Structure formats: C-alpha cells, structure tokens
C-alpha cells in the first residue's frame, strides 16, 4: 500500500471514529433528557433546591458589592479636620498641604483659611438671625482648617504621627481645637464595615448550607434514577457499554438541573435588584454601581451562575454514580 493510501485510510478511520464519538455523545444527551423528563417530580424538587442555592449565592454577591460601594462612598465623604490658628497664612496652609500629600495614606487635602471658614459657618446658619448677628459683630476667631481624606478611615497612623511631629504644623496648630479624626462619622463607618463583614459571613454560611442540601438532593435523585433503570443499566453492561457511557446521561441530567436553576435564579435576582434599587437609593445606599456591573456583564453573570449550578450537579452526580454503579 502506498504512503498516500495509508494517509487516506487513516483520515477515513479518524473521521469514522469522530462520527462514532459524536453519535455516542448525542445519545448520552438524549438519554439524559429522557431521564430528566421521566423523573419529573424529582427533577422539579432538585431544580427548586438548586434555584434557592444559586439565588442565595447571587444575593450574597450582590449584597457584598452594594455594601462595599456604600462604605466606599461614605469614606470618600468623611474628612479628617486639623484646626489651625486663625491668623495662619495661606502660604503656611499650602506648605502643609504639600507635606500632607506626601503621606501614602492621604488621598486628598483641602485648606480653608479663617475668612472662608467664617463664611461657611455663616452660610450653615443662614436661617438663624441671632447667630448671623453675632458672627458679624464678633472678631473672627474661626480657626483655619485643613481637611484630609485618607484611603482607610480605620488607619490614621500616618496622619496622627504627622500631627504630633511636624514642626510647621506644631507652630500653627490651634490650641483650642483638637484634630478631629472623623468622630461619630468614623464610628458609623466602622459599624457599617463590621456589618459588611458579618453579612458576608452569613451569606457564605447560608450558601454553603444550601449547596450541601442541593448536592444531597441531587445525589438522591440520581441514585433513585439509577435504581429505576437498574435492569437497563445491567443490559447495557452486558452488551459492552463502558462506565462513561452509562454515567453520561446522569451527568447530563445534573447539568440540566444546574442550567435551569441558574436561569431562574439569575432572572429572579436581577428582577429583585432592579425593583429595589429606587428604595435602596433613597436610603443613600450605593446600588447603582452594582446595577451597572450586572447590566454591562450580564453574559458573564449568567455563564458564571450556570457554571456554578452545573458544577454542583456534576459533583453530586459523579459521587452518586461512582458509588452505585459499582453495585
């Protein structure tokens, strides 16, 4: 046989082998669909629990993003105030800004001289005529202020060190007003931060519990399907079917659970997010960045949910078939 005929023969053989594998895969999918429809009530129960599991996972992810964005927004609005003497010049204020910006923990610095600070106090109390009259008659004793926004409100070590050691600042700092490192607002941010961590832990714990429950239900569903098809499986073994072919339909069935559950959970989760967005925004909760993320990356979200659902189903199915097909 010539080399060309050998190559042609090999190509034909590979094509036949590919067609056989493709036909086998199509049969596995068909048997998996048939099994899913045949065990309708069990399939509905398994899909329902899987849906709840994926919805909890989705909700945990969304809630964590919303809380993180909200805390980030609040941190950006909170500044640390360093009060200077009333007669502090703009040059001194600008020199201090330059030095503060060198600190790695500082995000932004703003200097407000005494005159401007007095104007802000007057504007804030514009509705109180007695306060306005007192401001106009009294000598300006309003301190100049340096407002500092730090990267992490819970870490002011560098700023505190600067206040206690910088020579120029010590010469001009107000003896009557101590530096404010966010006060009550800092406590609020810290409380929210703790709430974020707690919510994250609760969400993860709830997700794990339902993952286990979902896996057990799918495990038992697959096991019952195996027992119902025991004679069929024995016949398949007798005619030479390998383990992968017998196991395949059960894997497909488990993937169907995950696929349907992922679509339902994602739809319900997104619907709930959009419906509640206006209410959440009215409470100054930063929900829009999460909505933008979900809208822009909707394909990635859906594929990720399907992948998680399929993974849970496949792992449960593999464990069930590995144990019971040996019997």
- How do residues 49-61 score in pLDDT, each as one tens digit? 888 888 888 988 8
Residues 120 and 141 in one domain: yes
What pLDDT is attached to residue 108? Answer: 87
Position 9 in a domain: no
Rounded (to 5) percent helix, strand, coil in the chain = 75, 5, 15
Q: What is the pLDDT of residue 124?
A: 64
| Distance in angstroms (rounded) separating the CA atoms of residues 186 and 184 | 5
- Looking at the predicted structure, is the pLDDT value of residue 39 above 60? yes
> Quick count: other Cβ atoms within 10 Å of Cβ 44?
12
CA gap 211, 49 in Å, rounded: 9
Q: Is the pLDDT of residue 44 over 60?
A: yes
Asked if residue 89 and residue 34 are part of one domain, the reply reads no
- Is the pLDDT confidence value at 280 over 80? yes
Whether 175 and 195 map to the same domain: the answer is no
Name the band, by pLDDT with cuts 50, 70 and 90, for residue 219: confident
- Whether residue 48 is found in the same domain as residue 83: no
Contact at 8 Å (CB) between 174 and 83? yes
Q: Which two tokens stand for residue 223?
A: 């096991």
| Average pLDDT score over residue span 75-85 | 79
Domain identity same for 89 and 221: no
State the residue for tokens 């899987």. Answer: 50
Q: Does 217 or 138 have the greater pLDDT score?
A: 217
Q: What is the structure's pLDDT at 13?
A: 64
| Assigned domain for 21 exists | no
Cβ 185 vs Cβ 120: under 8 Å: no
Rg (CA), the chain: 33
The CA distance from 109 to 106, in Å, is 8
Write down the pLDDT at residue 45. 79
Distance CA 24, CA 18 (A): 10
Residue 19 counted as domain residue: no
The SS3 of residue 296 is helix
What average pLDDT does the segment 53-79 reach? 80
* Cα 325 to Cα 226: distance, rounded to the nearest angstrom: 8
**What is the pLDDT at residue 327?**
55
pLDDT digits (tens, 9 = 90+) for 119-164: 776 676 666 666 566 556 555 677 888 988 887 777 788 888 898 8
Q: Is residue 2 part of a domain?
A: no
The whole-angstrom separation of Cα 219 and Cα 209 is: 15
Residue 108 pairs in a beta bridge with 149
> What is the per-residue pLDDT for 3?
56
Which residues form the domain of 257?
A: 29-73+189-324
Is 83 or 224 the better-scoring residue by pLDDT? 83
| Of 147, 181, 215, the domain-final residue | 181
Who wins on pLDDT, 215 or 189?
A: 215
So what's the pLDDT on residue 96? 92
In terms of Cα–Cα distance, which of 51, 42, 37 is closest to 308? 51
Other beta carbons within 10 angstroms of residue 262's beta carbon come to 26
Strand order in the sheet with 80-84: 80-84, 144-150, 106-112
The larger pLDDT score, comparing residue 305 to residue 191, is at 305
Q: Is residue 147 part of a domain?
A: yes
Tokens of 172: 């001009």
Q: What is residue 215's predicted lDDT score, i.e. its pLDDT?
A: 76
The full DSSP string for 79-142 is -EEEEE-TT--HHHHHHHHHHHTTSTTEEEEEEE-HHHHHHHHHHHTTT-HHHHHHHHHS---P
Average pLDDT over every residue of 115-122: 75
**How far, rounded to the nearest angstrom, does the alpha carbon of residue 200 sit from its chain's CA centroid?**
9
Q: Is residue 3 part of a domain?
A: no
pLDDT higher than 80, residue 27: no
Last residue of a domain, one of 141, 156, 181: 181
201 and 312 share one domain:
yes
Residue 96's CATH number: 3.30.70.3040
> Do residues 108 and 151 touch, judged by C-beta distance below 8 A?
no
For the chain, what is the mean pLDDT? 79
Residue 245 main-chain phi, psi, to 5 deg: -70, -40
Whether 311 shows a pLDDT value over 70: the answer reads yes
Beta bridge partners of 81: 147, 180
Per-residue exposure over 22-32, b if at least 16 CB sit within 10 Å of its own CB, e if not: eeeeeebeebb
Pick from 155, 181, 207: which residue ends a domain? Answer: 181
Query: E-assigned strands of the chain?
Result: 80-84, 106-112, 144-150
User: Which pLDDT score is estimated for 266?
Assistant: 93
Lowest mean pLDDT among 158-162, 242-246, 294-298: 242-246
The more confidently predicted of residues 220 and 129 is 220
Pick the residue with more confidence: 314 or 16? 314
Of 179 and 303, more confident: 303
The rounded percent of the chain whose pLDDT value lies above 70 is 75
Q: Are residue 161 and residue 199 in the same domain, yes or no?
A: no
Number of domains in the chain: 2
Say if CB 327 and CB 310 are below 8 A apart. no
Task: List the single range of 20-29, 112-121, 185-194, 195-204 with lowest mean pLDDT.
Answer: 185-194
Task: Give the model's pLDDT for residue 265.
Answer: 93
pLDDT band at 270 (very low <50, low <70, confident <90, very high): very high
pLDDT for the residue numbered 253: 82
């Amino acid at each position: 046989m010539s080399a060309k005929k050998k190559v042609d023969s090999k190509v034909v053989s590979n094509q036949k082998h590919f067609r056989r594998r493709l036909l086998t895969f199509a049969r596995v999918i068909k048997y998996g669909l048939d099994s899913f429809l045949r065990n309708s009530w069990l399939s509905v129960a398994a899909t329902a629990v899987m849906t709840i599991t994926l919805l909890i996972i989705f909700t945990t992810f969304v809630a964590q993003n919303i809380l993180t964005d909200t805390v980030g927004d609040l941190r950006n609005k909170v500044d640390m105030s360093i009060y200077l003497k009333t007669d502090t010049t703009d040059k001194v204020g600008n020199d201090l800004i330059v030095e503060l910006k060198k600190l790695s923990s500082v995000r932004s610095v703003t200097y407000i001289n005494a005159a401007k600070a007095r104007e802000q106090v007057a504007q804030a109390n514009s509705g109180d005529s007695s306060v306005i009259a007192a401001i106009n008659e009294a000598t300006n004793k309003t301190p100049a202020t340096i407002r500092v926004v730090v990267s992490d409100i819970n870490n002011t070590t560098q700023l505190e060190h600067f206040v206690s050691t910088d020579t120029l600042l010590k010469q001009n700092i107000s003896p009557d007003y101590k530096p404010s490192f966010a006060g009550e607002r800092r406590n609020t941010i810290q409380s929210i931060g703790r709430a974020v961590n707690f919510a994250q832990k609760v969400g993860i714990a709830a997700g794990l519990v339902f993952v286990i429950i979902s896996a057990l239900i799918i495990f038992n569903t697959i096991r019952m399907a195996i027992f119902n098809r025991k004679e069929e499986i024995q016949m398949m073994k007798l005619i030479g079917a390998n383990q992968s072919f017998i196991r395949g339909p059960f894997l497909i069935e488990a993937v169907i659970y995950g696929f349907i559950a992922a679509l339902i959970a994602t739809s319900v989760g997104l619907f709930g997010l959009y419906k509640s967005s206006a209410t959440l925004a009215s409470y100054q909760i930063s929900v829009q960045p999460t909505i933008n993320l979900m809208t822009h990356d909707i394909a990635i979200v859906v594929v990720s949910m399907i992948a998680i659902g399929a993974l849970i189903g496949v792992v449960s199915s593999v464990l069930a078939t590995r144990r019971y097909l040996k019997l």
